[in-house]
Structure formats: C-alpha cells, structure tokens
Amino acid sequence: MSTLVLSSELLNRLVDGKELSKDDVYEIYQDAERDPSELYKTAQFLRNKNKGHIVTYSRKVFFNLINLCRDSCAYCTYKSEPLEAKISMMTKQDIQNLITMGRRYKCTEALFVTGERPEQKYQEARTWLKQNGFSSTAEYLAYASEIVLSAGLFPHTNAGKLTKAEMSELKKTNVSLGLMLENASERLSGKNMPHEFAPSKNPKARIKVLENAGELRIPMTTGLLIGIGESPFELIESIYAIKEIHKKFGHIQEIILQNFQPKPDTVMKDIPSPQERYFRTFVALTRVIMPEMNIQIPPNLSPISYFDFLSVGINDWGGISPITPDYVNPEFPWPSIESIERNCTNAGFQLRARLPIYPEFVSFVSSNLKSKIMEVADSGGFVKEGYLK
C-alpha cells in the first residue's frame, strides 16, 4: 500500500472521530511533504465541524510592564538591558494613562507582558519595584491587574514561569493567563541552541507551570514557536505534550502557532523564517491532533498571507491592538481590524470579538469575574456588538 493511500485512510479515521498516534501523525506529515492537499482539506473540515465559520480576535491594549529579563533567548529583541533606550518600566501613572486610551478605543483586553523575574538579575529592577512599593514583578502584576479590572478591562498576563501561589493570586483578577511552551524538546536548551541561556524555557519547567494552572482551573493560552531549529517530530511531540496536559485538566483554551522571524542584533539573525508550506502543514497537523482546540496564528507575522491560514484550520487571530504595538515583535505591525474583517468576509467567515477568555471557559472563573464578563458579553460569550461602537 502506498504512503499516500495510507495517509488518506488515517485522515478518514480522523473525520470519523478516531484519535491518531504520534506515529500516525508523523506518517501524515511525511505524506504532506509531497502533497499536503488532503491534510489541509481534513483540517478545514475539522475546523468547520467544531468551530463553524466564526473567526475570533481579542481587542487589546498591550501593557509592556517591564522588559528587563533574567533569560537570554537567541532570537529575542523584547528583552532590554538597563541602559538601553528601549527599556520599559511602566509606572502606576503610565498604567492609568494607558487604561484611559484603551477604554477610548473600546479595548476589552489588558495584556500584561513582562520579562522573566528581572528582579533576580538586575539591581535596577529591584530598586524600581521598591520605589513603586513592590517587592516583586508578580506583586506589581497583581496590583496592575486589579486597577485595569476595576476600570472595565479584562487582564490577561504573560509573565513567564510563575509559581503556583503567584498564579493563584492572579486568578482573582485575570480571566486567563498565558505561557508559551515553545517546544517540548530539551535539546533546544543545549549548547549553542536557542534556549541555552534561558533557564525558564526548560520544557519540563514550563509543562509544570501549565499543569499547576490546570490544578488551579485557570484558562491557559499556550503554543509553539516554529522554525527555531526543531525537527518535525519534535514539533509533533510538542503538540501531543499540550494535548496530554489538556486531556488531564481541560484548561488549555488556545494554542498559538507562531512562525519564527529573524531579527537584527540577535544570535539567530541569519536563520531564515520557516517556509510557509512547512508552517501551514503544522497548523493543519495541530488541528487534526486537537480537532476541538482554538488555534491561532498571529496575523502580523504573516502579513501578506495570514488569511490563507483559514483554509488549514485556524479559528482565531489572537489579541490585536488599535493603539499599542506588538512589543515582542515591533517590526511587525498588526493589520487593522477593518482589513482583517474584510479578508475574513471575503473568505466566507464572520469575524467576532471575544474577551481574553473564550466563551466555553467562562465557567472556570469566579462569580465576581463572571458577573463582569456578562456586562460586556452576549449570550454566546462574544463581546456585544454594541459595546464596540
């Protein structure tokens, strides 16, 4: 029996609701290297079956709280050093000013992003936190989350490897948290690899954080970074690692698939971004491995072709801001929400705004947060159309 026929039979099992093993999926991947059409068609079918023709996004304002970081990833330009011009250390007044702007532009998400525990490496961070009345970045995040929530925005925090106690505290105000797994392979933390000097990127440590969040019943966004030197099988292993966590706890609300983009002044500046067909294939494979999952690609990292990924199984564009840049990828501005909506309509999809918590996960949050969500959400859990006017 030819590989093409075998792969088609495996995909037909998926359509019938059967689960596939890692070896089965690797067989499909090898087939897709020659001809991905059957895989793409199956991924599209599974997305339509489980998610319909609605594509979502979250209208956000990006709070770049503090971008000092104890880690050094080989591809990162988000991290700053104390004397660099791009350093960000947002004061309480900066937060208030950005809240005002976010409300003016009808944002519903307050995305908090920080470097990994900067106070553990930099005296400047410790001094700055102390001057603002805090002993740690996590403590400042809890304060900032309370402020934005009281102002009508919904916090979602990406702050690296938080402890279980820190996540428990943030759960009081954050409707969801985020931590990218990036990859489950420890090989990528080895010598001369992208995570060699980034201890918080150790996959075992990140998996533990995701598991702790599951025990706390916190809706989590996670995902993979594609094109940083991983093998195809390592990517498949990584998708299954997320699947196993979700199967145990049921709290992974979204998988982000992010295509690596080389940046000047980084160790990996000469490494090319992954070929789009390779990237599309792994987006489709994620859909066939986890048919009911919310799957996102960031549209700003595929500015010319992002809408083509609607044909390989995605159902979300992630957070998009009408006012603040993507501080993690500032070279790539977000497309306008209007242009995204136009492209979705042309492809036969309806664009809907969501909160930083997906409708099916609202039951995870406290009654206090739930009542605030109901003030801006319609019966389907999406942002009320009138709220954005």
pTM of the model: 0.95
- Crossing angle of helices 22-34 and 276-289, in 10° steps, is 150
String of DSSP letters for 39-82: HHHHHHHHHHHHHTTEEEEEEEEEEEEE---S-B-TT--S---T
pLDDT value, residue 5: 55
Helices (H), 105-171: 123-131, 137-150, 164-170
pLDDT value, residue 115: 95
The full set of domains in the chain, from first to last, is 3-35 (no CATH), 46-388 (3.20.20.70)
pLDDT value, residue 83: 86
pLDDT value, residue 6: 54
CA gap 149, 327 in Å, rounded:
22
- Contact criterion met (CB below 8 Å) for 268 and 230: no
- Contact criterion met (CB below 8 Å) for 109 and 61: yes
- In this prediction, the residues of the chain whose per-residue pLDDT falls under 50 are 1-3
SS3 category, 322 = coil
- Contact criterion met (CB below 8 Å) for 216 and 256: no
CA gap 267, 194 in Å, rounded:
8
- Contact criterion met (CB below 8 Å) for 113 and 62: yes
Alpha carbon 228 to its chain's center: 17
Alpha carbon 294 to its chain's center: 11
Tens-digit pLDDT profile for residues 330-341 = 999 999 999 999
> 231: exposed, middle or buried (C-beta count within 10 Å: 0-12, 13-18, 19+)?
exposed
Who's near 78: CB < 8 A, 6+ residues apart?
Answer: 67, 69, 113, 115, 327, 328
pLDDT value, residue 1: 40
> 317: exposed, middle or buried (C-beta count within 10 Å: 0-12, 13-18, 19+)?
buried
